Amino acid sequence: MPSPGVWQASLRTARRRLGVTAPVSLLFLAIQVSALPYEYKFINDNCPGAEWNIMCRGCCEYDQIRCKCPSQGEVVGYAVPCCRNEDNECDPCIFHPGCSIFENCKRCHNGTWGVRDDFFIKGKYCTECRRGWSGGDCMKCGGVINLPRGHITLEGYPNNAHCEWTIQVSPDFNIELRFLMLSLEFDYSCRYDYVEVRDGDSVDSRVIGRFCGNERPAPIRSSGSSLHILFVSDGYKSFDGFFATFEESSACSSSPCLHDGTCLLDTTDSYRCACLGGYTGRHCENMVMCRSPLVPVHGAREGDDLRFGAHVTFRCDPGFTLKGPRKVTCQLDGTWSAPSPQCVPEEKQCAEPGKPSNGNYLLVYGPGDVLIAVQYFCNSRYTLSGNPQQTCQPNGTWSGTQPKCVKVPEKIQCAEPGRLYNGYYILTSGSGDAPDTVKFFCNNSYALSGSAQRTCQPDGTWSGKQPQCVKACREPKVSDLVRQKVLPPATQSRTTPVHRLYYSSSALGKLYNVVSPTKPPPAPVELPPGYHHLHSQLQYECASPFYQHTGSARRTCLKTGKWSGRHVTCLPVCGKLPAFNEKKLSETRWPWHVAIYRRTDEASKIKPESEGAWQLICSGALVNQRSVVVAAHCVTDLGKVHVLKAADIKVVVGKHYRNDAKEPKSQQHLRVSAILVHPNYDPLVLDSDMAMLKLLDKAQINERVLPICLPSAQGGEITALQGYVMGWPILPEPGTRDNETTRVGTMELADVVLCESQYAQNGLLVSITDNMFCAREHPQGFSNICPSETGGIAVLPSSSSGLEGQGDFRVVWRLLGLVSWGYDQACSPSLYTVYTRAANFKDWIERNMK
């Protein structure tokens, strides 16, 4: 026999396996065991003894110990723990009472007591369970049901039962639950035995109702596609249970639409009825009917059906005829398809009229094949005289008189117009009664004097007078900047040596019979607009003093039909300074001085057109209305040849104050269409530091906006000793922002060797290329600018005469250079600044200005 500790340990192990925590009362029946059933053998290999095997006989109980044969390790049955008595003897095993202890078993399964019997191995104690229960002990219930329809049954129930069901149907449907039988313990609050239904799929869903007793609830409908059903019983009384059916449903499951209407679901789980013709209402319950139509006087109505689609016919008494529809139909809106007709006395019919001579007619019939009108027409070469139509009157006569067909006189043809010298005409024949027309045209260098078109009249003559082609010149087109004055035609007097010979001697004049004109030339004929007579003169001048014209100032219409001279155009005057006083250099407005702005990254992301979105970066020079010259380093990334986007650069001309809010009317903000950088630009040594901005908008020329002239020649040495430099500070000084104007200074040009030597003395080894020149502040001149800080442009007057006055238009200002680079330290008048030499790039600038 095993020791008590072994069996107790086995019992605790068995209880942990089965999840049994409460004490279990076992009923032991004394039986006498004489032999081992089913040929059990005594195996004593590594076992406490043969008695151990005897205790592993095939008996069962709630608290069981699984026994294995020591040799094979196979399950041979179950045993209950041995209970030792006072004599330290084990009580024998007892037989399990079977399924009699399971209340929901309908038929018991006591097993065969075999080694592998389901009763012991699988715990199948019941052969058949009551409806709603499952499992070997018939204690399982509930579950998830995914069916469009079905039922839930609980036939009887034990104490302390707990069952949950979840019903799920298609997402677009609801669930309708009906209780066909309900037998639970009754309580007003349903606290003991109850069925609880929730609108959802869990115990946390909204409670629809809790039911108990015998009274069946009304059908239950879910708002969604799932229901949760919970059954709970207490430990006191048990009843018959319940039986419920469920089915997926919608608002249209049992169609609420009458008269064969179609039920249609909408998105709100509601419905609407699509009614057949003739029915209205939410459920198609209303039938469309029409009111009884009026019966015509002297007539009758046939048909009493007044529903939708029904027909009613009318008829008249003898001697009367129906005026209106013979049959009407009841429509969907409850009205008849037409008003009721009238019965009017029968009218007399008109006889067919005779055909007109040289013509024919067309008879028009009305309802009932009654002749109501006649239409007349004539044969070819005849025209209708009179009313072309007659109508039949109630008295049986035709209205008016019958028309007649009158012969049309033959069309008189016009003879071809006379010859048009130095031109031609096109004759067009008129269709039908339309007259013939002729259009006149002149050859090149001739203008048509007179009407351009004549029409053939009924008397066979052409309208108007014959035009003529006159030698003339077409007026040349000029721009709005050019003023044109037309001078009357005048034969210019030209005197040759032969004329002098004849007119100086009266004898020779008589000998050669020189005749002078005795009467004036004939008056010139009228010309169409835009043409001028021979020897007419056009005089030109520019509309603004800031423009100068190119071409001939006066042109004459020659005998060839062409204008003498060259075409005239007005171009802006370059290098003119309206007001200049060297003693008041800081007040000078430089009309070619241009401010270059760049769009800042941060401001452009927030608000591209805001006040702070543009940063003043450089100065440039206006060379024509669409071109600005600027240093290349201003429009490229620092130290690189990568060109900035044209959309991120803008130009302001007519600017004097640094603050754009001052004098805004004189400023012109211009967009840039392209940025051209010189192909030899070196961003490291700043050689060929030259670029051009092509403007998308045209600069308007005035006294504050004028271009600068380019150097007079390509390349060459700079012979001037001084010039002027102008620019704006990149960063405004504190306290001077609003009134700060253009910085300007007189500069002194220096030799390249001195410039390089000075840079070397300051620790900078630089090379000045042929495309550069050096300059510094002139010791005797005015200056309030530091070019290396502001940047800017350098200009030079072509002559020193007139500089002391208030501006002299005879002086031509030319572009000398652009500020390129200098010292990175405080500004000093003695330090040199390096400029880009503009003369070396004249050809490149002129090519790209076009």
Residues 318 and 451 in one domain: no
- 3-class secondary structure, 272: strand
Whose tokens are 């010259």? That residue is 629
Residues 225 and 331 in one domain: no
- 3-class secondary structure, 846: helix
Instruction: Kindly give, in sequence order, each residue whose CB lies less than 8 Å from that of residue 733, ignoring residues fewer than 6 positions away.
Output: 740
Which CATH number belongs to the domain containing residue 215 in this structure? 2.60.120.290
Residue 759 falls inside a structural domain? yes
CA distances from 92 to 57, 310, 346, 475 (A): 10, 98, 128, 142
pLDDT tens digits for 763-788? 888 889 999 999 998 988 888 888 87
- 150 — pLDDT class (breaks 50, 70, 90): very high
pLDDT of 733 reads 67
pLDDT cut 70: percent of the chain above it: 77
pLDDT of 818 reads 96
Residues 436 and 340 in one domain: no
Between the two ends of the chain, the Cα-to-Cα distance in Å is 123
What value does the mean pLDDT take over residues 577-581?
82
Residue 617 falls inside a structural domain? yes
Residue 335 falls inside a structural domain? yes
CA distances from 759 to 432, 522, 683, 778, 836 (A): 98, 83, 19, 18, 17
Q: Between these two residues, 86 and 164, which has the higher pLDDT value?
A: 164
Report how far residue 234's alpha carbon sits from residue 15's, in angstroms, rounded to the nearest whole number.
26
pLDDT tens digits for 541-575? 888 888 887 888 899 999 888 988 898 888 888 98
3-state SS record for 550-561: ECCCEEEECCCC
Burial 261-279 (b: 16+ CB within 10 A, else e): bebeeeeeeebbbebeebb
Report how far residue 288's alpha carbon sits from residue 562's, in angstroms, rounded to the nearest whole number.
89
Whose tokens are 């001077």? That residue is 736
Residues 728 and 673 in one domain: yes
Of the listed ranges 105-109, 142-146, 468-472, 705-709, the one predicted with least confidence: 105-109
Report how far residue 248's alpha carbon sits from residue 173's, in angstroms, rounded to the nearest whole number.
6
- 41 — pLDDT class (breaks 50, 70, 90): very low
DSSP secondary structure string for all residues of 566-631? ---EEEEPPS--SS--GGGGGG---TTEEEEEEE-HHHHHH-TTSGGGEEEEEEEEEEETTEEEE-
Residues 363 and 448 in one domain: no
Residues 626 and 666 in one domain: yes
Of the listed ranges 28-32, 306-310, 544-548, 831-835, the one predicted with least confidence: 28-32
Q: Is pLDDT above 70 for 507?
A: no
- 495 — pLDDT class (breaks 50, 70, 90): low
pLDDT tens digits for 68-124? 444 444 444 444 444 444 554 444 433 444 555 567 777 766 554 444 445 544 556
Residue 537 falls inside a structural domain? no
What value does the mean pLDDT take over residues 30-53?
35
Residues 797 and 699 in one domain: yes
Residues 388 and 467 in one domain: no
Report how far residue 177's alpha carbon sits from residue 248's, in angstroms, rounded to the nearest whole number.
9
Residues written for the chain: 850
Instruction: Kindly give, in sequence order, each residue whose CB lies less than 8 Å from that of residue 666, ignoring residues fewer than 6 positions away.
Output: 654, 655, 656, 704
pLDDT of 331 reads 86
- 505 — pLDDT class (breaks 50, 70, 90): low
Residues 312 and 388 in one domain: no
Of the listed ranges 56-65, 326-335, 358-367, the one predicted with least confidence: 56-65
**486: which 2 tokens?**
């037309």
CA distances from 207 to 164, 266, 431, 804 (A): 14, 26, 93, 105
Of the listed ranges 129-138, 223-232, 251-260, the one predicted with least confidence: 251-260
Encoded amino acid at 702, one letter: N
What is the value of pTM for the model shown?
0.48
Domain boundary among 212, 230, 249: 249
- 3-class secondary structure, 118: helix
What value does the mean pLDDT take over residues 490-508?
62
Residues 320 and 432 in one domain: no
Would you say 229 and 207 are in contact if contact means Cβ atoms under 8 Å apart? Answer: no
Q: Is pLDDT above 80 for 398?
A: yes
Binding positions for Ca(2+) are 185, 193, 225
Residue 750 falls inside a structural domain? yes
Residues 228 and 328 in one domain: no
Q: Which helix (H) or strand (E) holds 759?
A: helix 752-761
- 184 — pLDDT class (breaks 50, 70, 90): very high
pLDDT of 432 reads 65
pLDDT tens digits for 426-464? 988 877 667 889 999 999 889 998 888 999 988 888 898
CA distances from 348 to 344, 353, 393, 498 (A): 12, 15, 8, 107
pLDDT cut 90: percent of the chain above it: 31
pLDDT tens digits for 716-728? 667 778 899 999 8
Binding positions are 185, 193, 225
Residues 402 and 461 in one domain: no
- 383 — pLDDT class (breaks 50, 70, 90): confident
Coarse DSSP helix, strand, coil percentages of the chain, rounded to the nearest 5 percent: 10, 35, 55
Structurally, the chain folds into a number of domains equal to 5
**342: which 2 tokens?**
């009238």
pLDDT tens digits for 203-227? 999 999 999 999 999 989 888 889 9
Residue 417 falls inside a structural domain? no
Which CATH number belongs to the domain containing residue 339 in this structure? 2.10.70.10
Q: Is pLDDT above 50 for 664?
A: yes
Which CATH number belongs to the domain containing residue 707 in this structure? 2.40.10.10
CA distances from 663 to 578, 655, 658, 701, 741 (A): 18, 8, 10, 17, 12
**Which range marks the domain in which residue 143 is found?**
133-249
Residue 514 falls inside a structural domain? no
Mean pLDDT, all residues of the chain: 79
pLDDT tens digits for 52-64? 333 333 333 334 4
Residue 714 falls inside a structural domain? yes
Domain boundary among 431, 453, 471: 471
pLDDT of 631 reads 95
* Other C-beta atoms lying within 10 Å of the C-beta of residue 346: 11
